[in-house]
Structure 1
Amino acid sequence: MPTCHRFQDAALGRRTLLGAGLALTTLRAWASQDREAEALLRKGGVVAAFRHALAPGTFDPPRFRLGDCNTQRNLSEEGRAQARRTGAWFKERQLQPAKVLSSPWCRCIDTATLAFAAPQVWPALGSPHGARETTGAEHLRELRQALAAASLRAGSFEAWFTHMFVLADLAGGNTSSGEALILRADAGGRAEVLARLQVS
């Protein structure tokens, strides 16, 4: 075999091994996150705060109206499948939320319904309005109060379904579609992120 071919084959082998190693590392990280989230949910006193599942696009159409899903940005088929996978993850582990609460937006209600059951709609979880997309002070206060109350209830957890901007304002940081932040209120009443859960 020519020398250049041997070098090419060796380089390809190294890249394949590197790729396999990275994939294994990623899988192990996901498994570790799953175990950490599961342990926290089982212990209770937390909220699993989900960003709604995949709904392609950005913001809502100009003529958006609450209560009319035809005017909103909605879940794609992959988003609906993602929500079902989330529900299956919880069901396999026999983890059932004490409460399922949702933003009034259809993509959040649908995510909650496909994962668990028809939720209780809560305006405080709704998407912010306006160019700055900042959650109002009153809604943030409601969310923090509810999180503080949930944090005192050992042995049970709540599932909230909301939007990226709400989670960013409540807990800081970015979230992916369908991802949950496992939250607890700290001593000052603010949201503390204990773990993340992204069901693949």
Structure 2
Amino acid sequence: MKRKNAILTTPVAILALAALVFNTGCAGPAASKTVKGGAMGGMVGAAGGAIAGEDAAGIATAGLAGAAVGAVIGGVAQARENKRQDNLAQQRAYNQAIAMQKRAQEKEKAELKEELEIAEGFRITQEEIDEMTTRAEAAEAELAQLQKRRDAAIERKRTLEELEEREQEALAEAARLERELAELEGGESTAYNETTTEEIDNTPQL
């Protein structure tokens, strides 16, 4: 119990706790990994020395050793993070350069195409425009005539199919009615013949 109280009242332990508060509060995420690693290592070393029962000098030595180890580990992590950030920045810069180059090429192509169209337009005469207008209208008229013939052919095909369907329905209905009438006529004839035969048999003999 006395040893625990001694640890808590040790100036180095108090400084370690203060460093912990500073590292987690004031330093924040902006602090480098080297600084954070050194501070954390120092606190872990100092706390370990205090727990082991070292005196003030031993605690300070343990704290410095822990800080050195933590700083090295944090420095390696910071170097990796810096390298990763540099790679990302280089990649972004490369992508931006490629995009700018592509936009410049597209703009240059569009300008060149426009210049060619303007130059070609100066060489076109009104007679050529009139001739092409006549040819375009003739082609459109021919297309309209062909479309009309196609539509008429489709309509004739559909009409023939409808008439064939009507014929089949009428023939089927006629056949049904013919069978029905034949059955009815056959049944009435048989009943008439049976009735006539019975009447003859029941007639009194003179």
- State the TM-score, normalizing by the size of structure 1: 0.24
TM score, norm. by length of structure 2 = 0.24
Which protein has the larger Cα radius of gyration, Structure 1 or Structure 2? 2
Answer 1 or 2: which has greater helix percent: 2
Q: Specify which structure has the bigger relative contact order, considering alpha-carbon pairs within 8 angstroms and separated by 6 or more residues.
A: 1
